[in-house]
């Protein structure tokens, strides 16, 4: 069985965010980058568990420039067998999904895992687009994944409860908390990652559908106003006129 795990480079959650070029580009100055947590902790680790229990082969793919290679090498250190970097720089979800789908179509994977979203853009779009482009079923926000032969049983959260679905492979699945437990690369994995194959693939010709016009930081938090618990009228007035929530 061949599994493809989609890997994204994202800023560390403690990074201070700033923009350049008239607020049209994200400033990477002084920012530490990591594997997107949903890709690493849930999608990749569950794929590695399937590798250990079923003897699956785990491939990694990322869309980005040479600066993404340290991130993909860490994913190899965790246990991935082989990595592919599609040599393109784009923030358009359709463009990125098209590159991943073209690679997956050529390689013929039984299972494609993505994180449920990236922690920088929170788009949650890639998995569904990849599935559509490959004409495969898609199960989103998976919290549990079990495999019996070629039949996958997947638990996913829905409003007010949980849904359990069954689907035949091949399938695309986006993963969230509950899918697996996070792992830390050991020294053996780190050393092995240096010699594991990382192939650079040129992108296919795809026209992006969206472009970023500008970024905006959220408004600065205002000071706290203390209202006496006996002064309900003042509280209602402030919520209505200043906070504008009622």
**Predicted confidence (pLDDT) per residue in 177-235, tens digit:** 999 988 887 778 888 888 899 999 999 999 999 998 999 888 877 778 888 888 888 88
Q: What average pLDDT does the segment 35-64 reach?
A: 96
Q: What is the pTM of this model?
A: 0.86
| Fold annotation for 2-218 | Rossmann fold (3.40.50)
Task: Please state, in angstroms and rounded to a whole number, the distance separating the CA atoms of residues 223 and 228.
Answer: 16
Say whether pLDDT at 61 is over 80.
yes
7 near 39, Cβ under 8 Å? yes
Q: What is the pLDDT of residue 15?
A: 87
Pairing of strands 138-148, 151-158: antiparallel
Angstrom distances, CA of residue 184 to CA of 46, 75, 93, 190: 14, 10, 29, 10
131 near 165, Cβ under 8 Å? no
- E strands of the chain, at which residues? 2-6, 9-11, 19-20, 25-26, 33-35, 57-63, 82-86, 111-115, 138-148, 151-158, 161-168, 171-175, 198-201
């Amino acid at each position: 069985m061949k599994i493809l795990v989609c890997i994204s480079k994202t800023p560390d959650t403690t990074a201070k965010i700033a923009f350049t070029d008239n607020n049209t580009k994200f400033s990477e100055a002084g920012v530490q980058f990591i594997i997107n947590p949903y890709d690493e902790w849930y999608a990749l680790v569950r794929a590695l568990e399937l590798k250990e229990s079923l003897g699956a082969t785990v491939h990694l793919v990322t869309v980005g420039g040479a600066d993404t290679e340290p991130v993909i090498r860490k994913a190899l250190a965790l246990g991935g067998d082989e990595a592919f970097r599609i040599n393109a720089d784009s923030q358009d979800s359709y463009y990125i999904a098209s590159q991943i789908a073209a690679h997956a179509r050529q390689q013929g994977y039984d299972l494609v895992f993505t994180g449920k979203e990236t922690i920088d853009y929170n788009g949650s779009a890639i998995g569904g687009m990849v599935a559509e482009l490959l004409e495969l079923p898609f199960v989103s926000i998976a919290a549990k994944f079990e495999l019996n032969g070629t039949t996958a049983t997947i638990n996913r959260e829905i409003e007010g409860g949980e849904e359990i679905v069954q689907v035949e492979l091949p399938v695309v699945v986006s993963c969230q908390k509950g899918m697996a437990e996070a792992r830390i690369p050991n020294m053996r994995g780190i050393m092995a990652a240096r010699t594991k194959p990382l192939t650079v693939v040129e992108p296919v010709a795809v026209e992006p559908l969206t472009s970023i016009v500008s970024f905006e930081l959220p408004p600065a938090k205002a000071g706290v106003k203390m209202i006496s618990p006996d002064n309900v009228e003042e509280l209602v007035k402030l919520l209505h006129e200043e906070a504008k929530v009622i």
